[in-house]
Homo-oligomer: A and B are copies of this chain.
Amino acid sequence: MAGTTVTLTALEGLPLVKPGDDLGALLAAALRRTQIAPMDHDIMVVAQKIVSKAEGRFVNLADVQPSARATAIAKEVRKDPRLVEVILSESTEVIRKKPDVLIVAHRQGFVMANAGVDQSNIGADGDERALLLPRDADASAAVLKAQLDREFGVDFGIIINDSFGRPWRNGVVGVAIGVAGLPALVSLVGAPDLFGRKMRTTEVALADEVAAAASLVMGQSDEGRPAVHVRGVASNTRPVSASALVRPKETDLFR
């Protein structure tokens, strides 16, 4: 029955991604290798890390001159001042900090640890390089969508996902930072309210739920499975990018 089964499949044989690689071509080849024949409304979930690598979003820490502010924060949060400088350059606001924790608003609006700047699994030079988020993850998703749509002649959804911690709950979960070709957020009309006078509307973060589902099969390293094909997610509404998932600062009770 339509909409009652969802299948997630990790793509096989995706090589380690390097700056300048044609990620869309690599994904297309891996889809074929995994013997998946794409259909309209299939979704490809791609780990942020390989998108960033293909886009060459590395920073050499040796080239970074930390500001006085970065140095002061670095002392407080016990991180490399050069790394903190990079994090601040990717952020619009520091939301919370304490030893080992630096939560910021990324310039694209996502509230997250370290602006998504990562030093794990970035190769032999890991100690001296950091990897930033894609410059514009919605745009990156749109580029991949255009490429895969053309390659297979279907209407793909694309999600770029990352793992975020949350207030109040332990553990990270997969979330969407870039979306193309599907609604990141969908509105469902719910039941009448207590007095039966108005209909309640619930917004569901569809792309975040798909991103979390894909994380289940991805594992946590590059040597894992950084691209997942998803079939069966129903969505009848028009595509909405991941920027719609950012709660406006003015309406957020936790900033």
A interface residue numbers (CB < 8 A to B)? 1, 3-10, 12, 79-80, 83, 96, 98, 101, 103, 110-111, 119-121, 126-127, 163, 166-175, 185-186, 188, 190-196, 200, 202-206, 208-210, 212-213, 215-217, 220-221, 225, 232-233, 244-247, 252-255
Contact = CB atoms under 8 A, between A and B. Distances in A.
B185 A170 contact: yes
A101 B79 CA distance: 37
Contacts of A119: 191, 193-194
A254 B126 CA distance: 32
A101 to B, nearest CB: 7
B252 A167 contact: yes
Contacts of A96: 253-254
A217 B5 contact: yes
A209 B204 contact: no
Contacts of A217: 3-6, 232
Contact of A10 (B5, B110, B215): B5
6 contacts: A8-B213, A101-B253, A119-B193, A167-B247, A213-B216, A254-B254
